[in-house]
Structure 1
Amino acid sequence: MPLVFHCNRNLTIVKMWASTLPIILASLTLTIQGASVGQECGKFNEKQFKNNKTIAEPNEHPWVGRILGTNREGKDHLTCAGILIDARHVLTAAHCVSNGDVNDISAVVFGDSDSASRNLVSTITIHPDYSAAKRQNDLAIIELTKDIEFTDLAQPICLPSTEKPKSETPDSDLIVAGPEGVSYRRGDPDYKRTDGRIKVAFKRIDSSECNKLQERFPVELICSQDDRGALLALSGSALAEASGNPRKFYLVGIVTAGFGSPEKQYTGYLNVRSYLDWILRQTSSLS
């Protein structure tokens, strides 16, 4: 059972003082959250959330973007998902952009049409401790060349609080959203990849159990399971939590890896909350 990335192509794998860190992070968090309020982060629609459909509606999850590369014929092709966290920054898995070359990305697109909200890339920042071999710290930040104009099809998701939740979020309050990724159904001659963005119910399994099944699976990842052949989200897709009053979507995980067994398939999500300090420092300094 090899550990795989849910990605459409292989890319080349490319101090703060303890006493002041909480104050700095609190300030950064307030700044980001303040900006997010004006940007109406985490747009949530109860009817869409509970409609049990697997294909997202055009205005559903407007923070899900598609990272496009260019093939040998010079045409766009989908490589990974990217998640909009403010007007200028997109989070994705580091293995999607691991050589750090902005020329590998033709655009980050929001909306279901390739011509809708095409955004060019200015810089790519890969987590300094990213290890492709160990599948650790698989996180990168894409900075766009200019601020996105927010529409019904392009809006940021909220970042979670830096505080660790007192209890585990129920699976029913979580959703996986993004383009369809690598599926074990591709051996079926009648299989056709879904063109639209998908949404998949989250079914939690303890990460230690996933590690027992696949020793290369990092225990620090969030893990979910589903029946073999079920829809899988592409690398960089979001694990989003619906919470608060009024309810909003918060980005709690990013799809980074997966593996299969004869009966089940398993997906690993980088825990965004564990990287908030780095995300906030990077997006503040890049802005």
Structure 2
Amino acid sequence: MLGRITVIALLVGLFGFIVQSAQEEECGSFNEDQMLKQNGFAIPTEHQWVARIVYSKGFEGKIKDNGCLGVLISKRNVLAPAHCFVQYNGVAEAFSVHLGVHNKSAPVGVRVCETDGYCTRPAQEIKLAEIAIHPEYDSRSLKNTLAVLTLQRDAKINPNVMPICMPPLQLLNDTLVAQTFIVSGLRVFEDLRLKTWVNTLSRSHCQSRVKSLVTSSNTVCGYHARKEAYYLGAPLVGMQKKGSFTQNFYLVGILIDWGWDKERVMSSFLAIRNYMDFIQLNSNSLIVRH
């Protein structure tokens, strides 16, 4: 099996990019009834952009809690933390991604019916072609820990697999503090995909509560509403409104670190809006709702 992927660390601004409108392609599927059911588990047609990273020796890597996730941002691209890939020798190690995973213990490529009544489409496994590591990534401080993965083929979009919308331009400069977002993903002690609210706080408050938490001017942090910690790379999403209606989810950040504050989980997310040039440079197309 292929275990090492060429690392592409291109400088921003060399090439153009394509931003598609949401009318051309769907993204960030939002269902109000699903959102209101905050029992911890996300059904197969919720948060369909969560991707599981697969290494040459299996799902688990040598990182905190032994697993990494990414987020599908187009048919051919996935975002993930750079420290999920770059080893001490500077080589980025990964093999493929799994898309449409609802139960992490279920076999890939097989239709599965759960005891809760949900029958899911077969999860997709797609091998990686390239990993673009941010050129200013620092493995010691985890500053700029961002990677754009390019898949060898397009993901097949269906009700269980869909890209997340990118941040709308009008929200790029809004504050990320004192907001309520949703994080979704997989974790060590649960088989099914989870979701929970995240209430964001100031960086100084987060550092005062969990001193070991990785934070910077390019991160947003906050408490989880439920006592659940997720694999690194779990996407943090916000809700974009149009008039009096919520029309879609959009990507706010990806989980890069977490810790316990007594009985509460606090996480730190890399804020994606600060890296749009790098993401656009290394992606074949992105979807933004207006």
Query: TM-score band (shorter)?
Result: 0.7 to 0.9
Counterpart in 2 of 1:105? 95
**Does the 8 A contact of 1:39 with 1:155 survive in 2?**
no
| 1:62-211 correspondence runs (5 A) | 62-71=48-57, 76-77=59-60, 79-99=67-87, 104-112=94-102, 113=106, 114-115=108-109, 116-163=123-170, 164-166=172-174, 168=176, 171-172=179-180, 174-180=181-187, 193-211=189-207
| C-alpha distance after superposition, 1:26-58 (max 9, x if no partner) | x74xx3233x54220111111111111201001
**Does the 8 A contact of 1:39 with 1:156 survive in 2?**
no
**Does the 8 A contact of 2:213 with 2:258 survive in 1?**
no
Whose helix proportion is higher, 1 or 2?
A: 1
Query: Offset at 1:237?
Result: 0.6
Q: CA, structure 1 residues 168+94, in 2 after alignment: closer, same or farther (shift >3 Å)? A: closer
- Which stretches of structure 1, 4 residues or more, deviate above 6 A after TM superposition? none
Does residue 280 (structure 1) correspond to residue 280 (structure 2)? The answer is: yes
AA of the residue aligned to 2:128: V
**Does the 8 A contact of 2:49 with 2:99 survive in 1?**
no
Does residue 223 (structure 1) correspond to residue 221 (structure 2)? The answer is: yes
* Aligned CA-pair RMSD: 2.7
Query: How many percent of aligned residue pairs carry the same amino acid?
Result: 27
Counterpart in 2 of 1:32? 19
SS in 1 for 2:67: strand
Q: CA, structure 1 residues 37+139, in 2 after alignment: closer, same or farther (shift >3 Å)? A: farther
Query: Offset at 1:76?
Result: 4.8
SS in 1 for 2:190: coil
Counterpart in 1 of 2:29? 43
AA of the residue aligned to 1:51: K
**Does the 8 A contact of 1:241 with 1:252 survive in 2?**
yes
Which consecutive residues of structure 2, in runs of 5 or more, have no partner in the other structure?
A: 1-10, 61-65, 110-122, 286-290
Counterpart in 1 of 2:288? none
Distance 1:282 1:106 in 2: 18
Q: CA, structure 1 residues 215+154, in 2 after alignment: closer, same or farther (shift >3 Å)? A: closer
Whose strand proportion is higher, 1 or 2?
A: 2
**Does the 8 A contact of 2:78 with 2:148 survive in 1?**
yes
Which consecutive residues of structure 1, in runs of 5 or more, have no partner in the other structure?
A: 1-14, 182-192
Distance 2:178 2:32 in 1: 16
Query: Offset at 1:150?
Result: 0.6
Q: CA, structure 1 residues 200+143, in 2 after alignment: closer, same or farther (shift >3 Å)? A: same
Between the two proteins, the alignment pairs up a number of residues equal to 245
Counterpart in 2 of 1:234? 231
Distance 1:205 1:69 in 2: 34
Q: CA, structure 1 residues 124+167, in 2 after alignment: closer, same or farther (shift >3 Å)? A: closer
Distance 1:45 1:153 in 2: 13
Normalized against structure 2, the TM-score is what? 0.75
Q: CA, structure 1 residues 127+263, in 2 after alignment: closer, same or farther (shift >3 Å)? A: same
SS in 2 for 1:219: coil
SS in 1 for 2:280: helix
| C-alpha distance after superposition, 1:64-87 (max 9, x if no partner) | 11112243xxx5557311100001
Normalized against structure 1, the TM-score is what? 0.76
Does residue 54 (structure 1) correspond to residue 40 (structure 2)? The answer is: yes
Distance 1:84 1:204 in 2: 23
Query: Offset at 1:256?
Result: 0.4
AA of the residue aligned to 1:33: Q
Distance 1:139 1:278 in 2: 9
Query: Offset at 1:204?
Result: 1.4
Distance 2:127 2:28 in 1: 23
**Does the 8 A contact of 1:256 with 1:268 survive in 2?**
yes
**Does the 8 A contact of 2:185 with 2:194 survive in 1?**
yes
Query: Offset at 1:101?
Result: 5.6
